[in-house]
Amino acid sequence: LFAAVEMAPRDPILGLNEQFAADPNPHKVNLGVGVYYDDNGKLPLLQCVQQAERAMLEHPAARGYLPIDGIAAYDNAVKALVFGADSEPVRSGRIATVQAIGGTGGLKIGADFLRKLKPGAQVLISDPSWENHRALFTSAGFDVGSYAYYDAKRLGIDFEGMLASLQAASPGSIVLLHACCHNPTGYDLSPEQWDRVVAVLQARGHTPFLDMAYQGFGHGIAEDGAVIQKFIQSGLDCFVATSFSKSFSLYGERVGALSVLCQSKDEAARVLSQLKLVIRTNYSNPPTHGGAIVAVVLNDPTLRALWERELAEMRLRIQSMRARLVAGLKAAGVQRDMGFITQQIGMFSYSGLSKEQMVRLRSEFGVYGTDTGRMCVAALNSKNIDYVCRSIAAVL
Ligand code: PLP
Ligand code: TYF
C-alpha cells in the first residue's frame, strides 16, 4: 500500500525550527517562525490567561461535547471583538460565527464551505502571502492565483499593481486579504487604499476573505479592526478568520474562529447550518479548553482590561525592537537606509536580504530567517539584538 508513497516537502517555516534545534551554535537566534517571545526570549503565558485558568479550576467543569459551532459565549465575544459590540450586523444577528481550531481551522472551514458554494471560483492570495494560504485553498479544490502586493524595488506595496490584478480577475473571485500585519512583508494598506480595494471588490463582484491572525499586534485592537467596518459599510458578503494564537499567546491551544457576514439574519442562520455541516464531517466539534479561556477573558471586564494591557505590551515591545534594529544596523556599519523596518507593522519584517544572504546568516551566524528574507522581529530582544545586527551587517 505504501511502497509508492512519496516524501512530502517540509513546511518551509516549521522545517526551519528543526534545523534551528539541531544547530550547535551557542549564539543562535530563531527569527524564522512567527512566534512572539518576551525580552528574556521566553514564550509568554499571559497573566489574564493564568487568572482565567485559576478561576476555571475553582469551578471545575466536566468535559462534555461542545456544540458543533463551539462555546456560545466565545462565538459572541468574537463577533463583538471583530465587528464591534454595538455594530449593526451584530445587533441584527446577520453574522454566522463558529469556533475553529486556530485561525487555520477558520480558513479551512471557510474554504470548504466556499468550495461547495462557488466550486469554479478563482481564489486570489497576495504575492507573497503566508504559504499555507495557497496550500489550504488548493487542498480545498480551488485554483489559487495571486494579486500583486509587494514591490521589492520600492520596498513597499505595489498598490497600482494590486488594483490592476483585482480588476483583471474574473468576476466573482474569492480574494484573500490580510486584515492587518501582513505576513510575510509587514506592509499594510492605508485606510485610503483599503477604500479603493473595497470599491474594486464591489465593482467586480469579488468575495473578500479577511485573515485576521494578528488583531492588536499592529496599532491596537480597535485600530487593527477598523478595516472590518469598511467591509460592513460596503454591504459585501464577507468572511473573517480570527486567530488568538498570537494575541493570547495560546499557540498550542488552537483557538480561532470563522465569521461570515451575511445580508440578513435568515441568511446567517442558513450559512451557520452549512458551516456546522463542514465541521461535523471534519472533526465533529471543537475542543473546550482554549475557547473557554478566551471566553472568560473577553467577557470579564477586569480580565479583558488586563489582556488589553498585556497585548499592548507585546505590541510596543515589537515596535521598540524595530527601532533598535534600525539604529543597531546603522551602528554596525550598514550604509543603506534601513528605516523601512519601522514603517512595517506586526511580527514580521521583509528585510530585503537575498536568499544567499539569508543562507549565510544561518550557516555562519546561526541567525535563522526564511529564504525570502522574512525575519520575525517579535523574537528579537535586548540580549540578541546586537548580535543579530552585527550578523546582518556582515552579510550585507
Ligand atoms: N494566517 C496567518 C496570516 C498567519 O500568519 C497564521 C500564523 O500562524 C495563521 C493564519 C494561523 O493561525 P493559527 O496558528 O491560529 O492557526
Ligand atoms: O508564518 C508564520 O511563521 C506563522 C506560524 O505552517 C506558522 O504563521 C508557520 C507555518 C505554518 C503554520 C504556522
Instruction: Give the Cα-Cα-Cα angle 136, 208, 84 (nearest 5 degrees).
Output: 110
Same domain, 363 and 254: no
| Enclosing domain of residue 206 | 65-287
Complex ipTM over 0.90: yes
Same domain, 243 and 330: no
Residue 186 belongs to a domain: yes
Same domain, 244 and 386: no
Check pocket membership of 97 for ligand 1, CB cut-off 6 A: no
Check pocket membership of 103 for ligand 1, CB cut-off 6 A: yes
Q: How many whole angstroms from its chain centre is CA 108?
A: 14
User: Average of pLDDT values for 63-90?
Assistant: 98
User: For this structure, is 307 an active site residue?
Assistant: no
Identify which of 245, 255, 350 to mutate to test ligand 1's pocket (most ligand atoms within 8 A of the CB).
245
Burial class (CB in 10 A: 0-12, 13-18, 19+), 133: buried
User: Average of pLDDT values for 310-320?
Assistant: 98
Check pocket membership of 346 for ligand 1, CB cut-off 6 A: no
Selected catalytic residue, list 69, 79, 108, 130: 130
Burial class (CB in 10 A: 0-12, 13-18, 19+), 344: buried
Q: pLDDT at residue 117 above 90?
A: yes
Check pocket membership of 104 for ligand 1, CB cut-off 6 A: yes
Q: Which atom of ligand 1 is closest in space to residue 347's alpha carbon?
A: 5
- Residue 10 — very low, low, confident or very high, per pLDDT cuts 50/70/90? confident
Question: What pLDDT is stored for residue 126 in this prediction?
Answer: 98
Identify which ligand lies nearest to the alpha carbon of 217.
Answer: 1
User: Average of pLDDT values for 87-102?
Assistant: 98
Same domain, 322 and 244: no
CA distance 82 to 76: 10
Question: What pLDDT is stored for residue 12 in this prediction?
Answer: 84
- Torsion, CA 358, CA 364, CA 368, CA 371, rounded to 10: 20
Q: pLDDT at residue 14 above 90?
A: no
Residue 141 belongs to a domain: yes
What are the pLDDT digits (tens) for 373-389?
A: 999 999 999 999 999 99
Question: What pLDDT is stored for residue 22 in this prediction?
Answer: 94
Which run of H or E residues covers position 243?
strand 238-243
Q: What is the CATH number of the domain that holds 30?
A: 3.90.1150.10
Give the total number of structural domains in the chain.
2
User: For this structure, is 383 an active site residue?
Assistant: no
Residue 4 belongs to a domain: no
Mean per-residue pLDDT of the chain: 97
What are the pLDDT digits (tens) for 30-66?
A: 999 999 999 999 999 999 999 999 999 999 999 999 9
Percent of the chain surpassing pLDDT 70: 100
Distance 185 CA to ligand 1 centre (A): 14
Question: What pLDDT is stored for residue 118 in this prediction?
Answer: 97
Identify which of 132, 133, 178 to mutate to test ligand 1's pocket (most ligand atoms within 8 A of the CB).
132
DSSP-assigned letter for residue 239: E
CA distance 303 to 279: 30
Integer angstrom CA distances of residue 359 from 12, 26, 253, 372: 13, 18, 32, 10
What number of CA atoms fall less than 13 Å from residue 245's CA on the CB side? 23
Kindly state the cell numbers that stand for 335.
550604509
User: Average of pLDDT values for 223-232?
Assistant: 97
- Determine how β-strand 207-212 pairs with β-strand 238-243: parallel
Question: What pLDDT is stored for residue 16 in this prediction?
Answer: 93
Residue 104 belongs to a domain: yes
Q: Whose CA is nearest to atom 2 of ligand 1?
A: 213
- Residue 340 — very low, low, confident or very high, per pLDDT cuts 50/70/90? very high
User: For this structure, is 211 an active site residue?
Assistant: yes
Question: What pLDDT is stored for residue 178 in this prediction?
Answer: 98
